[in-house]
Amino acid sequence: MSVGIKDVARVAEVSPATVSRVLSGRSVDPAMKERVLAAVQSTGYRPNLAARRLRSKHSNTIALIVADIRNPFFTAVSRTVEDIAYARGQRVILCNTDEDPAKEAMYLQLMQEERVTGVILAPTRQGGDRAKMKLDFPVVLIDRAGSGWTHDRVVLDNGAMAAMLVEHLHEQGHRRIAGLFGAASSTGIERRAGFEQSAAALGLEAEALSVVHGPGEAERRVTDLLNRADPPSALIASNGVMLMAVMRAVHAAGRSVPQDVALAGFDNDDWMELVGGGITVIAQPVEEIGRTAMAMLVDRIDHPQAAARKVVLAGKLIARGSSAAPVRTNRKQA
């Protein structure tokens, strides 16, 4: 049925080993090489990657495991990772954990069976048992860090970036701010910490809310916030998805940004320049995150025993209309 390397060998009148050598670019007699290539053409031979992987023990496959590919941050990183991987002759398998540690563990097991070359992982917060799993492929963590110090990682300087947002709002004249932070990721925790510290340092009235992962949760918290007798003048959201939720809730409450409440957050998703006079955000270097993660992965494959490294990248504050001065405060100052 399917044409194999033996068929090619027969047509080219050489041994299967020689065909293999030609295909893997090792040195063979030019005349033979010619014959083999011609035979490959004429037979329409396509290598069987399963067989190749079994024998060679190289899967040429990496896995990218993230919370949810629909989060534009992960989408962007994934695109970069895929481009680089395919350019290097590597296949990419994509997995969504939905912030579920059990799913994460299941996928890591699966990748073990897949004998992947390596994994790029945005870990869930509770996935602490990962260390115990004894994975025999390198793992590079992205976005989330976790406390253990076992894997390479590339992360944003979350605390500093959150502080930058707080300081920006402070400069704009905001004195009462609230922040929404994802409870499921270490990223949320770190950004929250940066938020609280810098707010304290600036003497702001600040309230940090932990939002559990799930649809509608962030909206509800924002709605509660807005319906208070004395709502904050500015909100911070710890990622792009949550910023969207905040915008929706503000909208639904009949308020608008920045007139009724200012807004700032993380992730420079496409839509953000279009609403509320543009959303002020910390733009993450998504392309660089993907690139760095891939670079660390291949480097780790070459040097399995090297010490674990951590790359911390800076984000960029993009100030837009959403963080304008509060109306009342303005008046007082004028």
Partner DNA sequence: ACTTCTTAAGAAAACGTTTTCTGATTATTC
Partner DNA sequence: GAATAATCAGAAAACGTTTTCTTAAGAAGT
Q: By the criterion CB under 7 A, which residues form the site for DNA?
A: 2, 4-6, 13-21, 23-24, 27-29, 32, 45-48, 51-52, 54-57
Total residues belonging to the chain: 334
Which tokens sit at 47? 């290598």
| Binder among 96, 117, 198, 233 for its own copies (CB under 8 A) | 96
CB of 171 to DNA, least distance (A): 60
The identity of residue 149, as a single letter, is W
CB of 316 to its own copies, least distance (A): 19
Residue with smaller CB distance to DNA, 110 or 295: 110
94 contact choice in its own copies, DNA, none (CB below 5 to 8 Å, kind-dependent):
its own copies
Task: Classify residue 322 by its DSSP letter.
Answer: G
- Which residues are CB-neighbours of 296 under 8 A, at least 6 positions away? 140, 152, 154, 309, 311
Q: Contact between 59 and its own copies (CB under 8 A)? A: yes
Residue with smaller CB distance to its own copies, 78 or 172: 78
Residue list 142-171, contact with its own copies (CB under 8 A): none
CB 14 within 8 A of CB 29: no
Q: Contact between 54 and its own copies (CB under 8 A)? A: yes
- Which residues are CB-neighbours of 20 under 8 A, at least 6 positions away? 5
Nearest CA among 240, 247, 207 for reference residue 223: 247
| Binder among 10, 21, 115, 291 for its own copies (CB under 8 A) | 115
Q: Contact between 2 and its own copies (CB under 8 A)? A: yes
CB of 113 to its own copies, least distance (A): 5
CA distances from 2 to 5, 6, 35, 39, 51 (A): 10, 11, 20, 15, 13
Residue with smaller CB distance to its own copies, 93 or 193: 93
Residue 29 φ/ψ, nearest 5 degrees: -55, 125
CB of 198 to its own copies, least distance (A): 28
Q: Contact between 302 and its own copies (CB under 8 A)? A: no
CB of 294 to DNA, least distance (A): 23
CB of 109 to DNA, least distance (A): 13
Nearest CA among 264, 263, 195, 261 for reference residue 231: 261
CB of 135 to DNA, least distance (A): 16
Sequential DSSP letters for 254-315: T--TTTT-EEEEE---GGGGTSTT--EEEE--HHHHHHHHHHHHHHHHH-TTSPP-EEEE--
Nearest CA among 140, 148, 123, 100 for reference residue 290: 140
Task: Classify residue 325 by its DSSP letter.
Answer: P
Q: Contact between 274 and its own copies (CB under 8 A)? A: yes
Residue 102 belongs to what H/E stretch?
A: helix 101-114
Task: Classify residue 5 by its DSSP letter.
Answer: H
Q: Contact between 261 and its own copies (CB under 8 A)? A: no
Q: Contact between 321 and its own copies (CB under 8 A)? A: no
Query: Can you give the binding site for its own copies, defined by CB under 8 A?
Result: 2, 44, 46-51, 53-54, 59, 68-70, 72, 75-76, 78-79, 82-83, 86, 91-96, 109-110, 112-115, 134, 136, 244, 247-248, 251, 269-271, 273-275
